[in-house]
């Protein structure tokens, strides 16, 4: 950034916002400390800042972000997310390898948070819920040169993680 001007070298059309990536997520939760403990144990997220009784900001190990997740307390009687209502469905956290995905399945199962597994062709995915019922995805991105027809499809198939480990591991 020189002289207050930002050179984005974007390929989007003029007048469009040149997004690089999603930087962080912020969730309303009943108890930010309880949720921070869950995300710390499940993902190894580290606390960046605590605002007692109000919020916790966390980041993933090795990230360049200031924070990856913000958690804001809304109280113990707040209603949880409901399927079929307007709002966020889930967040997706990408892991670097198929082995990390397999280890993630064990972690989510141990925490009682694993709720599903899917093969989306270009991604292999696990689904979990945090203590407030917020759904998240843990996914591994297949190397792009192997996407083939999946580049233009959004498939949902049963994930055979053992077969994927044998293929990609």
Query: Is residue 47 packed enough to be buried (19+ CB in 10 Å), middle (13-18) or exposed (0-12)?
Result: middle
Looking up tokens 């804001």 gives 72
* Segment 48-77, tens digit of pLDDT: 999 999 999 999 999 999 999 999 999 999
CATH class of 89-169: alpha beta
Contact 135, 90 (CB under 8 A): yes
Q: Which of 42-46, 86-90, 93-97, 129-133 has the lowest mean pLDDT?
A: 86-90
Phi then psi dihedrals of residue 151, to 5 deg: -60, -30
**Helix ranges restricted to H, 44-143:** 98-110
Q: Give the per-residue pLDDT at 93.
A: 96
* Segment 8-64, tens digit of pLDDT: 566 889 999 988 888 999 999 999 999 999 999 999 999 999 999 999 999 999 999
Mean pLDDT of 99-120: 98
Q: Work out the angle at residue 168's Cα, subtended by the Cα atoms of residues 163 and 169, and round it to the nearest 5 degrees.
A: 90
All structural domains of the chain with their residue ranges: 22-77, 89-169
Q: Do domains 22-77 and 89-169 have the same CATH topology?
A: yes
Q: Give the per-residue pLDDT at 32.
A: 98
Q: Give the per-residue pLDDT at 21.
A: 86
Query: Average per-residue pLDDT in the chain?
Result: 93
- Fold for domain 22-77? 2,3-Dihydroxybiphenyl 1,2-Dioxygenase; domain 1 (3.10.180)
> Is the whole-model pTM more than 0.75?
yes
Q: Give the per-residue pLDDT at 6.
A: 53
Q: Give the per-residue pLDDT at 2.
A: 47
Identify the band that residue 1 occupies on the pLDDT scale cut at 50, 70 and 90. very low
* Segment 121-145, tens digit of pLDDT: 999 999 999 999 999 999 999 999 9
């Amino acid at each position: 950034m020189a002289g207050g001007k930002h050179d984005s070298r974007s390929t989007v059309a003029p007048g469009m916002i040149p997004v690089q990536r999603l930087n962080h997520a912020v969730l309303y939760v009943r108890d930010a400390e309880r949720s921070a403990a869950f995300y710390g144990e499940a993902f190894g997220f580290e606390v960046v800042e605590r605002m007692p009784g109000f919020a916790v900001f966390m980041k993933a190990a090795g990230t360049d972000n200031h924070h990856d997740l913000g958690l804001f307390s809304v109280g113990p009687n707040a209603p949880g997310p409901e399927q079929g209502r307007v709002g966020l469905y889930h967040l997706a956290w990408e892991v670097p390898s198929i082995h990390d995905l397999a280890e993630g399945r064990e972690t989510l199962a141990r925490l009682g948070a694993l709720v599903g597994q899917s093969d989306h062709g270009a991604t292999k995915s696990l689904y979990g819920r945090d203590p407030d019922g917020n759904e998240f995805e843990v996914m591994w991105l297949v190397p792009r040169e192997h996407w083939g027809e999946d580049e233009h499809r959004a498939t949902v198939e049963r994930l055979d993680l053992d077969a994927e480990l044998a293929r990609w591991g």
